[in-house]
Amino acid sequence: MKSIAQIAARLQGYDPQSLTTERVSAFLNELVAPVTETEQVALFDALGRVLAEDIVSPVSVPPHDNSAMDGFAFNGAQLQPDLPLRLQVVGTAFAGKAWQGTVGIGKCVKIMTGAVMPAGLDTVVPLEFARVQGDAVSIPANVLKCGDNRRHLGEDLMAGHTALAQGERLGPAALGLLASLGLGQVQVYRRIRVAYFSTGDEILSAGEAPREGAVYDSNRYTVIGMLKQLGCEVVDLGVVRDEPALLEKALLQATARADAVITSGGVSAGEADHTRTLMQKLGDMAFWRVAMRPGRPMAVGHISAPAAGAQSSDGVIAPTSSALLFGLPGNPVAVMVTFIAFVRPALLRMMGASPKPQIMLRAVSESPIQKKPGRTEYQRCIVTPRADGQPTVRITGNQGSGVLSSMVQANGLLVLEHEQGPVAAGDEVNVLMLDDL
Ligand SMILES: Nc1nc2c(c(=O)[nH]1)N[C@H]1C(S)=C(S)[C@@H](COP(=O)(O)OP(=O)(O)OC[C@H]3O[C@@H](n4cnc5c(N)ncnc54)[C@H](O)[C@@H]3O)O[C@H]1N2
Ligand code: MOO
């Protein structure tokens, strides 16, 4: 495991009080190691899991040349420009029940979609194009080319070729592809376990009576929601008051039980913020001010705790477990934005997934947007599709980092890059669509 100091020493221009989002991402790439343990799971249980091995096709898909249409199969060399073709039907080929005979010149076979192409035949005329009279079929001039409507053996996947690479996060299409190879089980990385707790004396749990100066905990629901969407196992440690002994206990418990620990609150420099001090005491931590909005303060590092169930006795050093720790800012939108920008990619890396660039939509801004160069801004926005071309985008009103209602209205996050200044109406901007996450 690389220490914060080692990574910082290698990262040019590392300044914890002013880090660009790119530097943060580069730092996290070095800090976070993928899990190595794997397990075999049934294909139906593999959705969202990450492949731990290359999948080499044991078979070709399709396994034989076959018809793409219901129609009549024949030897396409007989087609001539500007001339119709008349053929005699000599049999029927069904999907799953091949036609075994030979089909000569002037002959054809009625064929169903998916049926194996009889030997020597390479072209199918769809039923809609064929004129059938008794056992004769005539094909009008110039409606077909030789080879039309034939699907080739292995045109999807060829036996012996890599069908999917290690690191692929399995979506429905990938599961279907694995199933098309006849595989019922697949080797994936184990799930990662992530513990979460909210911190702060003013934070109430749902169901508690309201009291002066207190607010209900929303971060626990947004963060745990996003963790579940990622397919992590979640250890929910609730709300922890800003008391050193309670915070220490929660951090140690979380570390002993999880691969990664996420907290919210207590990472800026407030007086009652014991969280920072404790994180520092228990681990190798960095406290950053990221040049971004929202989400400026953030803590990251590794902390250690005696492993779950480990007994320390005289002369015996208890084994320790260690976890990646993200101390996210308390403000509800800052939590979500830092999770999306940094925690999510880091956890995907820990899950073993190959890195994928976040694809941004280009949209035209409906109105001017204020923006200072020198920080990356994530503004909640609504993208509207336009029938006549590029989608347009507008921001969702109040962008305060405590305002969750504008996050709910938003369908995207408008990402204004570090160097960018104000946006004029009609300018193109980048949007991260929230549904894609
Ligand atoms: N002097 C400075 N003050 C602040 C700075 C700074 O750089 N210098 N940064 C500001 C920014 S930006 C943010 S973000 C916040 C982050 O502070 P903390 O991480 O220490 O968070 P808290 O102070 O504990 O809480 C901030 C805010 O969020 C509310 N909150 C916290 N947890 C929850 C929760 N689980 N559910 C709902 N709401 C929550 C909390 O009540 C506060 O209102 O610091 C700024 N200050
Ligand atoms: O980082 Mo704070 O983002 O302004 O809420």
What tens digit of pLDDT does each residue of 104-131 get? 999 999 999 999 999 999 999 999 999 9
- Which ligand sits nearest to residue 273's alpha carbon? 1
pLDDT at 309: 55
Instruction: Measure the CA–CA gap between 124 and 148, rounded to whole angstroms.
Output: 6
401 C-beta closer than 6 A to ligand 2 = yes
Helix axes 274-282, 244-257, angle to 10 degrees: 50
Q: What is the number of the ligand 2 atom nearest to the C-alpha of 329?
A: 1
Name the β-bridge partners of 56.
162
**Residue 221, SS3 per DSSP:** helix
- Which ligand sits nearest to residue 223's alpha carbon? 1
| E-assigned strand segments in 24-167 | 38-42, 55-56, 66-67, 71-74, 85-93, 107-111, 123-126, 131-133, 136-139, 150-151, 162-164
Name the β-bridge partners of 94.
97
CA of 264 to the centre of ligand 1 (A): 9
Contact yes or no for 50/356 (Cβ under 8 A)? no
Q: What is the number of the ligand 2 atom nearest to the C-alpha of 296?
A: 1
- Which ligand sits nearest to residue 378's alpha carbon? 2
Which domains, ranges and CATH numbers included, belong to the chain? 4-37+190-350 (3.40.980.10), 39-56+165-189 (3.90.105.10), 66-151 (2.170.190.11), 361-436 (2.40.340.10)
Instruction: Measure the CA–CA gap between 363 and 394, rounded to whole angstroms.
Output: 9
- Which ligand sits nearest to residue 276's alpha carbon? 1
Protein residue with least CA distance to atom 5, ligand 2:
401
pLDDT tens by residue, 381-414: 999 999 988 999 999 988 999 999 999 999 999 9
pLDDT at 397: 86
Question: Phi, psi at residue 310, to the nearest 5°?
Answer: -75, 135
DSSP 242-256: S-HHHHHHHHHHHHH
pLDDT at 436: 82
Question: Phi, psi at residue 323, to the nearest 5°?
Answer: -140, 150
Instruction: Measure the CA–CA gap between 52 and 37, rounded to whole angstroms.
Output: 9
Out of 219, 247, 264, 268, give the residue to mutate to test ligand 1, the one with the largest number of ligand atoms within 8 Å of its CB: 268
Instruction: Measure the CA–CA gap between 73 and 98, rounded to whole angstroms.
Output: 12
pLDDT at 413: 98
pLDDT at 313: 55
CA of 296 to the centre of ligand 2 (A): 5
Instruction: Measure the CA–CA gap between 282 and 280, rounded to whole angstroms.
Output: 6
**Which residue in this structure is represented by tokens 């194996």?**
116
Ligand 1 neighbours (beta carbon < 6 A): 198, 200, 202-203, 215, 217-220, 264-270, 273, 296-297, 329-332, 334, 401-402
Instruction: Measure the CA–CA gap between 417 and 21, rounded to whole angstroms.
Output: 9
294 C-beta closer than 6 A to ligand 2 = yes
pLDDT at 274: 86
pLDDT at 316: 58
Residues of the chain with pLDDT under 50: none
Where would I find the H helices in 268-384? 274-282, 332-338, 344-350
pLDDT at 310: 54
Instruction: Measure the CA–CA gap between 382 and 404, rounded to whole angstroms.
Output: 14
128 contacts: CB under 8 Å, gap ≥ 6: none
